[in-house]
Amino acid sequence: MTARDRGTGRGRPRVQGKAQGKAQGKGQARRTGTGLKSVAGQVFALEALIALLVIAAAVFVTFFQARSDTERDARIRSLAVAEAFAHAPGVDDALASSDPTAQLQGRAEATRRATGVDFIAVLSPSGVRYTDSEPGLIGQKATGDLSRATVDGESFTELFHGAPNDAVRAVVPVYDDGGRLVGMVSSGIEVESISHAVQGRLPLLVGVAGGALAAAVGGAALVSRRLRRQTHGLGPAEMTRMKEHHEAVLHAVREGVLIMDADHRLLLANDEARRLLGLTAEAERRHVSELGLDPRTVELLESGRSATDEVHRAGDRLLAVSVRPTLQHGSESGCVMTMRDTTELAAVTGRAAVARGRLQLLYEAGVRIGTTLEVVRTAEELAEVAVPRFADFATVELLEPVLRGEEPPEGAAASTEMRRTALSGLRPDQPLQPVGDTVHFDVRSTPMAKALNAGHAVVEPELAAAEGWRAQDPEGAAQALAYGMHSLLTVPLLARGVVLGMANFWRADTPEPFGEEDLSFAEELAARAAVAIDNARRFTREHAMAVTLQQSLLPRVLPEQSAVEVAYRYLPAKAGVGGDWFDVIPLPGARVALVVGDVVGHGLHAAATMGRLRTAVHNFSTLDVPPDELLGHLDELTGRIENGDTGSAAGEARRRDEGITGATCLYAIYDPASGLCQVASAGHPGPALVAPDGQVRFPELSPGLPLGLGLGDVPFESMELWLPEGSKLVLFTDGLLEDHGRDIDTGLGLLRSTLARPDRSPEQTCADVLATLLSPTPRDDIALLVAETRLLDRNRIAEWEVPRDPSAVSPVRNAAAAKLSEWGLDGLAFTAELILSELITNAVRYGADPVRVRLLHDRTLICEVSDGSSTSPHLRHAAATDEGGRGLYLVAQYAERWGTRYARRGKTIWAELRVGTNGDEPTATMVVPDLDALEDLAW
């Protein structure tokens, strides 16, 4: 930091302190009347300014004169030193020697110290330094114009600016005896040294200037003080303005002013004060107690306290009075009292305050009524808003159809009974009928019946005089009157011109009865509440319809199957029914398909879309294809459904309003014979797998894209899982995990901790999961499916590899018959052998290797014949002359069900026989050859 920087930093606090001092002085000047606006202040400021300018100019001139003198002395001294050294004996010989530096450096330094100059440098004719006070510069060429010495041969002085330092220097040429220039001598004093010399005189100059300024300011202060005493600190303009203000206060201002002295005597009363207080001209100099003022006003003036807008009486007027002391800090102080007439303003203000309060209450009603889409809660909010700011008690009665969400009857105005839905009051011990009671209006002269018939609010200022109200329920009316109920305002709740119910407002503790001015407010309040109640009613109806539709589309009873033990839960959202669904579908081969899906959006359309998708999954499952292929078919169908719905403006608007943007689905096929489970997802969260020991994991499925996005060219992917017996496969929708303030990761953590408890049935698992993750008001539908896996007993499975030789059919058929006898199914032997003969024979003849036969003993007997060919047989009716063509016809006749499913390579033809029957023998009209002959027949 430079000296200049430090000086600047030190100067800032001084400036701030001066500013604060000036501010304080100015505040003191205002209090004592010596401000610049006064004549005394202006004279003082002018004299001080003139003195400051004169002294500043003197210091400035003196400073620069001193600097000029110092610089002139530096020139003379530098030239004298340079000339003396240049003409010193032996200098010219030293310059002509081979090493001028060695001979002259010491002499130059001694001369510099002796003469007090800052530097002496001996230069060559070309300006190269032989000697210098700074040894590092020896050998360097001196800067600046030296031609006056080298060319003109004259000695000169100059103010040099350049390296190494700015200085006043003198340059003197040196000649030998022959008159030849052999060198130059440069001597000088640095500018910094000159500045230090000048600055050394500054304290003296500042001291002299300060003394002169103090003397000048003191003289100005003496003159100003004397002038202030003569003018009281006021100038001509202020004196004139003061006179004008005095006249205005006395005669023109429409606000009363009283000025009292320290003895509480009246000094001044303007015309308005005389008018308001009835004072005469002789009132001045009298004590306040003698002016005939109101005792409260006299007490206020004598107390010496301040007041702001206190209301005091003056005859039949109401005055807003303010009092302030005349001297804020004086011990002996008078006071000033101002007053204005507020008689009419008070009445207007009271009415305005009531109107403002009513508007504020209506605003609050708009915010507080209808926060939920529940009819009962909306009625309760109406009663809570009205108490206590409008009524002491409020009741709301609604028609029964409205409470159920149904359309109110057209003749609701003539209805004679309603259900009390809400009640609010200042005290709990009220005599009114409780919530839930039926309220009757049998007497047509009651205020309620009148309001219903007229369609607008009716006020009963005095309940004691309301004969119809008392006749409706004499005992209840007597209790209400004894309790203090004295006024009633009843208003019908109308929406779209139809009566929904009644709102009744009662007053007991408030002494003022309801009046005609309360009718419009009550009707506005009831109208806002009626709209909210009607919205809640319609939402209730639509929600009930959507729930009914959705429940009708969901499975009511799960089908019987042996692969898994299943438990499920389905909960619709409170805000609006969505499109979540689940399903359990038995598949051939004792397998089962587990499905869970979610239509994005809410409302009837989402529920209907869910129903269509569930039906489509059932239909596609009959194709018996892997999960990824089934989702591909479902995606294509969903795209057609959505495109069909959006083909019109109405369909597009419905999708936009209901937020339907697609659907997700998880499809799993579990095979109890192998324990393998194939799973594929279309944008749906993957399942949770719970091992028999309670370990929980979430397999990382390929999530796929949601259904119906028009991205059918992106294939779905299946994952194959092996599940030990007793494992639990948990399928769910995202509504179970995500909820208010909880993201999906938090939900997965809660689900994991809840599932990690072994030895529980699927039913117990469902209950525990919902108890942990379910919120009181779920914002989305929840579908939960828990399936505990089972494995088919290996003793109930029989498999054979069949060579591609027709003669191999009979041994396999016999082995199958023996296995059926082992299982105790002798009654099915003939039918099973017939079916196996047909299926194996045609697989050997027309199929491809490998050919396999499998029997499964489950709820049914399942016969499966697989081969490596993808060609599928077709059922046809052979003519009487055809030698073949009856094979599948016989299979269809004797089997409970039959079909074909395709694998990645080859196909499987299966047939199911009902266990517990002896099989159907051929009828007399059906010609059935023996089993060996059947092997020769074609499809």
Q: Name which residue leads in pLDDT, 573 or 33.
A: 573
Does the pLDDT value for residue 439 go beyond 60?
yes
DSSP bridge partners of 417: 440
> What is the pLDDT, as a whole number, of residue 31?
42
Residues 6+ apart with CB under 8 A from 884: 878, 937, 938, 939
Closest CA to 486 of 392, 358, 386: 392
Helix axes 375-386, 519-553, angle to 10 degrees: 160
Check residues 767 and 658 and name the one with the higher pLDDT.
767
Question: For residue range 370-426, what is the model confidence (pLDDT) as tens digits?
Answer: 888 888 999 999 999 888 888 899 999 999 888 888 888 776 445 678 999 999 988
Cα→Cα distances 614→142, 618, 638, Å: 103, 6, 11
How much is the average pLDDT of 86-100? 82
Higher pLDDT, 609 or 888: 609
Edge to edge, what strands does the sheet with 663-671 contain?
579-587, 591-599, 663-671, 676-682, 718-722
Confidence band (pLDDT; 50, 70, 90) for 123? confident
Predicted confidence (pLDDT) at residue 27 exceeds the cutoff of 70: no
Q: How many CA atoms lie within 13 Å of 150's alpha carbon, on the beta-carbon side?
A: 12
Give per-residue pLDDT as tens, 338-381. 888 877 665 555 566 666 777 787 788 878 888 888 889 999 99
pLDDT for residue 14: 37
pTM of structure? 0.53
Q: Is the pLDDT of residue 882 over 70?
A: no
Q: Return all residues near 481 (Cβ < 8 A) that are at least 6 apart.
A: 463, 464
Angle subtended at Cα 792 by Cα 790 and Cα 797, rounded to the nearest 5 degrees: 170
Cis-peptide, bond into residue 388, ω within 30° of zero: yes
- 211 or 833: which leads in pLDDT: 833
pLDDT score, position 163: 72
pLDDT digit string, tens, across residues 514-537: 888 888 888 888 888 999 988 888
Contact assessment for residue 828 and residue 913, using Cβ atoms and an 8 Å cutoff: yes
- Are the beta carbons of 132 and 119 closer than 8 angstroms? yes
End-to-end CA, the chain: 110
Strand pairing of 458-460 and 438-440? unpaired
Q: Using an 8 Å Cβ cutoff, are 564 and 729 in contact?
A: yes
Buried b (16+ CB within 10 A) or exposed e, 548-574: ebbeebbbeeeeebebbbbbbbbbbbb
Do the beta carbons of residue 646 and residue 605 sit within 8 Å?
no
Which one is predicted more confidently, 472 or 211? 472
Name the band, by pLDDT with cuts 50, 70 and 90, for residue 236: low
By three-state DSSP, how is residue 356 classified? helix
Taking the CA atoms of 348, 349, 353 and 356 in sequence, report the sign of the dihedral they define: positive
- Work out the angle at residue 326's Cα, subtended by the Cα atoms of residues 323 and 329, and round it to the nearest 5 degrees: 110
CB 931 within 8 A of CB 813: yes
Percentage of residues in the chain having pLDDT higher than 70? 81
**What is the percent of the chain where pLDDT is above 90?**
18
